[in-house]
Amino acid sequence: MSNDALTHPTDAVAMRHALTEAATTAGYAPSIHNTQPWRWRLAGDALDLYTDRRRVLAVTDPETRLATLSCGVALHHARMSLAAQGWQVTTTRLPDPTDPDHLATIRLDGRARADQQTALHLRTIPLRHTDRRPVTGAPVRPEDLRAITAAVEAEDTWLHTLSADQVLELASAADHAQRTEAAEAAWRDELGYWTGGNRPGGAGIPDAAIPGQAPQTTVPGRDFGHHGTLAVSAEHDRAAVFALLYGRTDEPRDWLRGGEALSAGWLTATELGVSVLPHSAPIEVVSTRQAMRAVLASTGYPYLVLRLGAIDPADAGPPHAPRLPADQLIEQSHQVRHRA
Ligand SMILES: Cc1cc2nc3c(=O)[nH]c(=O)nc-3n(C[C@H](O)[C@H](O)[C@H](O)COP(=O)(O)O)c2cc1C
């Protein structure tokens, strides 16, 4: 079907359905502190993605690096949904130079054959989740690590697996970052606002997803300032592999691509039975972010640390974090838009 063919009224209904479905699927995306800092606007044959400043962590993430990464994951989820529904799309990133919050426009170009890879990713999207328990099982298989790295690289971002010495540098950076942040009252308030409790509003991290005791780890995980109710084993996470997700610049366009790459890598990992736990504290603090850049020998800019570990297939893992209702995140616009 050509672009011009997308003019029949029934096409309008099909397009609205497909785009609504895509924005709804994007709601499963992981985000820093489960803030879900995105907003979708649906108009005709296009879906626009915006940063929602009301859910950006002003103290922890003043440059919106982590919010933009999170929105990038949502963008990739929406792309997967449309591809799996059999739509060909054009994605334009940062389409409006006057509006930095307008992160992307996805425009439907016509029908296409859905491929098996995207159909598999679509099934994985609601299953993927964050598991903060120590990884104590078998090591991650090298071929799985290569497949996850390839999925990241297909989205113009890179993944560097840390050597044993670099893991020790990371451990020290993570510890320093957490101490620096915890010393600031405004940071503690922000953390307290978004984490703990039952989270009936649908955003933030509930106690059920926060370890009930400090896990035995070489690299300290996020210190939530209190223990949750998630049961964790007393074993050390010796089987963990750490990797740095990084890109060629420290600019919003590449952060967005980094989020798309995070989605591609995390979905692939889930399909291979590998858990992913992001560690963003070392990226949040300037001095430790620079230390992570030095680990990359300044070949790129670090966006996120990922802990990877093989999952016991019999273990369903911790409960899923809640999500905001889709209608709070999707705005239907009746404005007619013309193709450029
Ligand atoms: C950019 C980004 C940074 C994150 N940083 C951390 C982190 O430092 N520590 C942590 O435990 N989880 C981290 N997470 C995981 C989120 O807390 C998690 O995705 C969110 O609570 C939603 O839960 P779910 O992944 O189980 O759906 C991060 C996620 C993203 C996308």
pLDDT for position 337: 57
Domain boundaries, the chain: 3-127+326-332, 142-310
Looking at ligand 1, which residue's alpha carbon is closest to its atom 11? 222
pLDDT for position 148: 98
Collapsing DSSP states into helix, strand and coil, what is residue 304? strand
Looking at ligand 1, which residue's alpha carbon is closest to its atom 5? 280
Residue of 25, 28, 32, 255 best suited for mutating to test ligand 1, as the one with most atoms within 8 Å of CB: 32
Render the burial of 129-154: b for 16+ CB within 10 Å, e for the rest: bbbbbbbbbeebeeebbebbbebbee
Under a CB-based contact definition with an 8 Å cutoff, are residues 132 and 318 in contact?
yes
The string of pLDDT tens digits covering residues 24-75 is 999 999 999 999 999 999 999 999 999 999 999 999 999 999 999 999 999 9
Per-residue pLDDT band at 230 (split at 50, 70, 90):
very high
Q: Is the pLDDT of residue 335 over 70?
A: no
The CATH homologous superfamily of the domain defined by 142-310: NADH Oxidase (3.40.109.10)
Q: Which CA distances in Å does 245 have to 189, 256, 328, 334?
A: 28, 12, 30, 39
The string of pLDDT tens digits covering residues 138-190 is 999 999 999 999 999 999 999 999 999 999 999 999 999 999 999 999 999 99
The arrangement of secondary structure in 3-127+326-332, i.e. its CATH architecture, is 3-Layer(aba) Sandwich (3.40)
pLDDT for position 111: 93
Q: Do domains 3-127+326-332 and 142-310 have the same CATH topology?
A: yes
pLDDT for position 219: 97
Ligand 1 environment, Cβ below 6 A: 30-34, 66, 69-70, 73, 129-130, 132, 205, 221-222, 278-281, 304, 320-321
Average pLDDT, rounded, for the chain: 94
